[in-house]
Amino acid sequence: MRIADIHRVYFIGIGGIGMSALARYFVLLGKEVCGYDKTETPLTRELSDLGMSIHYNEDIEEIPVEFRDTAHTLVVYTPAVPDSHSELVYFRDKGFDIKKRSEVLGIITKDTFCFAVAGTHGKTTTSSILAHLLRETNTPLTAFLGGISEDFNSNFLFEGDQYTVVEADEFDRSFLRLSPDIACITSVDADHLDIYGDHQSLMQSFRDFIGKLKPEGKLFIRNGLPFKGITYGIEDDSDYCIRNLRIEHGTYIFDLGTPETLLKGVKFNKPGRHNLLNGLVAFAMAVQTGAPPYRLAQALENFKGVQRRFSYKIKEEELVFIDDYAHHPTEIDAVYDAIAEMHPGKKVVAVFQPHLFSRTKDFADDFARSLQRFDVVLLLDIYPAREEPLPGISSDWLLEKIQNPRKKLIKKTNMIQEIKQENPEVLVTMGAGDIGLEITRIQSELEDAI
C-alpha cells in the first residue's frame, strides 16, 4: 500500500485515542476521512469539527457513497472491533484494502527515523514527554500518542516528517508491525492474558519486538528488566541515572548522569517515581537526535503532562483531586505511592472503575491488595469495553476480596454524593473506561462545594 494512492480513509472505531490520531494525520495529508464509532464523545466531536463525517449506528447504509470505491479507499479498524461487525464484514466481502491501526502505523513510520515506546505501563506518558522534548529542540517530527498531551492539547503532533514517535502497543501483538530505530521498554508486567494466555508468551512477544529493531537500532531498558540494552534507573548503576533525588515544593530535583556527562539540578514536575523514570528514558532517547543534553534537561522541567495521567483537577489546601488512567494493579500502586510521597498524612478516597472482565478475573487478588491501601475505596461496576460478561466476575466479587472496612460498591449516578459523604482530603479517580467522561462533572461539583 502506498499512502499517495489513497484518496479516502474510513475508520471503524474512529473515536479511539490511537485511531483518532491517525484520522487527524490523514486529514492533514488532504485525504477524505470519515468513520463509525459506538458512542459520541468529546474526541469524536473534535474530529467532526475538523470536517470528518462520523456516525454512531452500526449500519452499512450510513457509509457515504464515495467511500464505497474499492480502488482508492483504505479501511482502518481497531482490534477492539469484533469480526462480526456489520461494516467490517461489508468491507471484507467487497474486497477493500483493510488494515489494522498498527499496520498503518508501520507503513507510515517505515521510511522515517522511528522512536517506539514499549512497555505494559508508561507508554503514553513516555511518548508524550519524548514528543515534547523533540519539539522544544526544534526536531522535525510527527507523533501519534495514546493520550491528550497537555503541552499541545492533542494526541497528534505534526511538525515535520523526518522523525516519528509512536507507542509500541503489545495488545494483539500490534508492536510487531513496527521497525524502530530507537526503542525503549518501560515494564513487562503480566497483562492482556486474554490475548497471550500467560506471562511467558507476553515476554516472548517483547523479545520478538526487540528483534524488529533496525540493524543499527538502540534499545533502552529500565534497569532490572531481563533484556539487554542501554539501561536507565534511579540511584543505581544505570547508563542513564538519576542521583541525589529530592523533593522541593512538589517538584523533583536531581542530578542526571549520562555516559558522557552529569547535569546538576534538573527539575521535573510530574509526581511519582514511575513518571520520573518515564521522563528519564524520554530524555535518553531524545539525546540520540544530537540535541544538546542541557537543552533537553531544561525542556523536562516545563513538561505539563498528559490528560488522565496523574492529572491534578483540583489542588487546594482543603482538597486535592487527581485523575488517572490506572487500570492495572501495578499502575494503582504507582498512583498510591505518588500520592503518599506528595501528600503525606492525608485522607485518600479512591474511586475505581475496573476495566474488562478478563483483566479483573486474572488480577483480582492483586487489584484487591492494591486498592485496600487507600483509606476509602469506592468501586464502580466493571467497564466491559470489547468483552461480554464472564460468569461470576463482577465488582461485587472483587469488593469481597478487598480487606478494608471502608469499601463500598457505588453507581455512577450517585458517585458525587458518595464522594462528598466521605469528605476526602485527597480524591483520586482511576480506570480506563468511561469514568474519564465524568471527571469534568466531578470537578465542577467539588469546586462549588469548597
* Residue 214, annotated as binding a ligand: no
Query: Taking a C-beta distance cutoff of 8 angstroms, is the pair 433, 404 a contact?
Result: no
164 is in an annotated binding site: no
Q: Which sign does the torsion angle of CA 281, 286, 289, 292 carry?
A: negative
- DSSP 8-state assignment for residue 156: E
278: Cβ contacts below 8 Å, ≥ 6 apart: 122, 125, 126, 129, 186
CA-based nearest residue to 369, from 337, 338, 336, 401: 401
User: Any known ligand binding at 120?
Assistant: yes
Q: Residue 118: helix, strand or coil by DSSP?
A: strand
- Bridge partners of residue 256, in order along the sequence: 242, 263
**Distance separating alpha carbons of residues 68 and 214, to the nearest angstrom:** 37
44 a known binding residue? Answer: no
% helix, strand, coil for the chain, step of 5: 40, 25, 35
Distance CA 235, CA 240 (A): 10
Residue 106 known to bind ligand: no
Q: What angle do CA 370, 376, 380 make, to 5 degrees?
A: 75
| Contact between 242 and 264 (Cβ < 8 Å) | no
Known binding residue 289? Answer is no
124 is in an annotated binding site: yes
Beta-carbon count within 10 A of 387 CB: 17
Cite the annotated binding site for ATP by residue number: 119-125
Cite the annotated binding site by residue number: 119-125
